[in-house]
Structure 1
Amino acid sequence: MTGRDRLRELLDAVLDEDNHTLAEMAGEAYASPFHFSRVLSRDAGEAPVAMRRRVMLERAAWQLRQGGSVTEAAWAAGYESVEGFSRAFARAFGRAPSTVDATTGHWLPAPNGIHFHPPTSLWVESTEHAMNPLTEQLVAHALDDTRHLIEVAAGLTGEEYRARRLPGLVVQPWDGPEESVQAVLEHLVCTVEVWLASIEGRDLPDRDDDPGAARLLERHDAAAPGWLAVVRDVDRRGGWDDRLIDALCEPPESFVLSSVVAHVLTYSAHRRQLVRHLLRSAGRDIDTGDPIDWLRARRGETPGGI
């Protein structure tokens, strides 16, 4: 599914809590019920009411996996009774909702690859698979190098760590100034935290007002394994063209997973070199961060070895 208007219709039809009928969905999309149903059925291969019912059941399964009650899941899915919800859930998933646990999947077969993704968004599964054998090394190097830089920064005094060495520097407009070792390292860690939370459907992490190097190292070590695991999973199933459609954005934004990983890697590399420049300006010796050297060290090879 591509195109802003179509995404808006899908999101309105599937996610709007106030739209329970075809007429309400169509009205939200400023279309007649006949036209709305025809266009959506043609382009998505699934009637809007059936799509909403399936995605709401997927959301219910996810809620149950998180420990929610059957009653709560039933009301949230728009069912008037727990019994009716339980019958529909059992028909769809082949098991009673009361038997759902953390190991239960929450996606149902879909003709279009459109699925619920927590907390309030859709996931559009790609039908085309592409593998990139370099990605794991690139991600692992970025994570290891970030940890290395935080450890070096831990040797700075508080004044050196927070000093505004690059006044007015802005890497991304929405992130604000990154003028110190502390600011650049915090954004390095936070970028991984935010995208990991988005992909896993968790709440966005809280930002520390004045994180020290030890605190940043804790946050990095908590997020790094999950981020690497996500990339490995995407690579394993060839999901690089999958789309995460975020309904919380206005207007809705869709993100291709390969572009998300490329985004993280690009700005990670830039910021890591910024930190090196800042550390040198503080009088600290620091390596170049070359991935060739990193991989050689990881494999126990000597420089220049064959």
Structure 2
Amino acid sequence: MSEADSGRDRLRELLDAVLDEDSTTLADMAGRAFSSPFHFTRTLSRQTGESPVALRRRVLLERAAWQIGRGGSVTEAAFGAGYGSVEGFTRAFTRTFGRPPSATGPGSATWAPAPNGIHLHPPVHLWVEQNPRRHTGMDVTALQVHHDVEDTAALIDLAAGLTEEQYRHEWFPDLTVLSWDGPEGSIAACLHRLVHTKEVWLASVEGGDLPAPGGDTAGELRERHARVARRWVATTADIDRRGAWGDRIVDAICDPPESFLLGGIIAHVLTFAGHRRQMVRHMLRACGSGAGHGDPLEWLQDRNGGRGGTP
């Protein structure tokens, strides 16, 4: 056996010790690898760039994300990942993935940032990337995407409490965000465009037909948004996982067809969604409704239990 093969086998043994269901402490892990905690930590950290405890915690969070994405209970996933409370699990999950467990669904990303390319390969195996991407911190794009869909949902909920006259009143009769979209001077028009824009761009990315505009009552928009938000989050996560931000699509929905970078599409949607959400806030305030600031820092504070604006 070559030295390289021996090294790989030893790494496998160390990883097996870390991820054994009964390895709940560093001493347990080291004992299963027939090593002292000191040497076990030093060897694994040197080979993976991650301490045994941190690696185990991350991979168990990846497993929890996979379970929740398949419809599993957040409570069961939390205790299965070794957390003593759902609240503590939710904070750790949000810090790791940039989204709360409640925003995790089919197609959501389940790999957390890692220095070594070692990830869960569901349900119980490990995947080791040959050339792992180096992550230096929070995935800002994922945070922006999740903030956008959650903030939009919150605005739709606020709009549901308005009278029909307030909801459809032209507060800004001359407001046109993008010339090809037409006027958006009412709360109804702005919220509809927030939802429909994602429906249209997803059809382009997925190769579908141009979707017809759906109903624009607050109840109808709530249902449409819930459907499109899950697909939108899953699509952006998949683009990131594949490193496909620079890939192009030829959008046959346009006349004539045009090509767009996937990263450009996401940036376009997020840019104008942010503008529209603030316009909706101005109109809600005119109706006497408290709509907050829509600040991602405040959103993160809420998600992290009030512990500052960093994840």
TM range (shorter): 0.5 to 0.7
> 1:228 maps to which residue?
233
Is the CA contact (8 Å cut-off) linking 1:186 and 1:211 kept in structure 2?
A: yes
> 1:143 maps to which residue?
149
Residue correspondence of structure 1 range 169-248 to structure 2 within 5 A: 169-208=175-214, 211-248=216-253
- 1:164 maps to 2:170: yes
**C-alpha distance in 1 between matches for 2:309 and 2:244:** 36
- 1:257 maps to 2:247: no
**C-alpha distance in 1 between matches for 2:276 and 2:218:** 16
Is the CA contact (8 Å cut-off) linking 1:139 and 1:228 kept in structure 2?
A: yes
> 2:283 maps to which residue?
278
Is the CA contact (8 Å cut-off) linking 1:130 and 1:239 kept in structure 2?
A: no
**C-alpha distance in 1 between matches for 2:239 and 2:230:** 14
Q: 1:247 to 1:180 in 2, by over 3 A?
A: closer
- Of residues 270, 274, 279 in structure 2, which corresponds to 1:269? 274
Is the CA contact (8 Å cut-off) linking 1:130 and 1:240 kept in structure 2?
A: no
Residue correspondence of structure 1 range 45-194 to structure 2 within 5 A: 133-194=139-200
Q: 1:190 to 1:158 in 2, by over 3 A?
A: same
Cα offsets for 1:38-74 (capped at 9, x unmatched): xxxxxxxxxxxxxxxxxxxxxxxxxxxxxxxxxxxxx
Q: Tell me which amino acid in the other structure corresponds to 1:140.
A: H
How much does 1:196 deviate? 1.0
**C-alpha distance in 2 between matches for 1:304 and 1:130:** 24
**C-alpha distance in 1 between matches for 2:248 and 2:201:** 13
Cα offsets for 1:162-212 (capped at 9, x unmatched): 00110111111111100100000000000111111111122222213x621
> 2:86 maps to which residue?
none
Is the CA contact (8 Å cut-off) linking 1:246 and 1:253 kept in structure 2?
A: yes
Q: Tell me which amino acid in the other structure corresponds to 1:219.
A: R
Residue ranges of structure 1 left out of the alignment (5+ in a row):
1-128
Number of residue pairs aligned between Structure 1 and Structure 2: 177
- Structure-2-length-normalised TM-score: 0.54
**C-alpha distance in 2 between matches for 1:245 and 1:212:** 33
Q: Tell me which amino acid in the other structure corresponds to 2:246.
A: D
Q: Tell me which amino acid in the other structure corresponds to 1:276.
A: R
**C-alpha distance in 1 between matches for 2:266 and 2:134:** 14
**C-alpha distance in 1 between matches for 2:207 and 2:250:** 12
**C-alpha distance in 2 between matches for 1:244 and 1:185:** 27
Is the CA contact (8 Å cut-off) linking 1:139 and 1:265 kept in structure 2?
A: yes
How much does 1:301 deviate? 2.5
Is the CA contact (8 Å cut-off) linking 2:300 and 2:310 kept in structure 1?
A: no
How much does 1:248 deviate? 4.7
How much does 1:305 deviate? 9.3
Q: Tell me which amino acid in the other structure corresponds to 1:295.
A: L
RMSD of aligned alpha carbons: 2.2
Cα offsets for 1:134-160 (capped at 9, x unmatched): 111100000000000000000000000
> 1:27 maps to which residue?
none
Q: Tell me which amino acid in the other structure corresponds to 1:260.
A: I
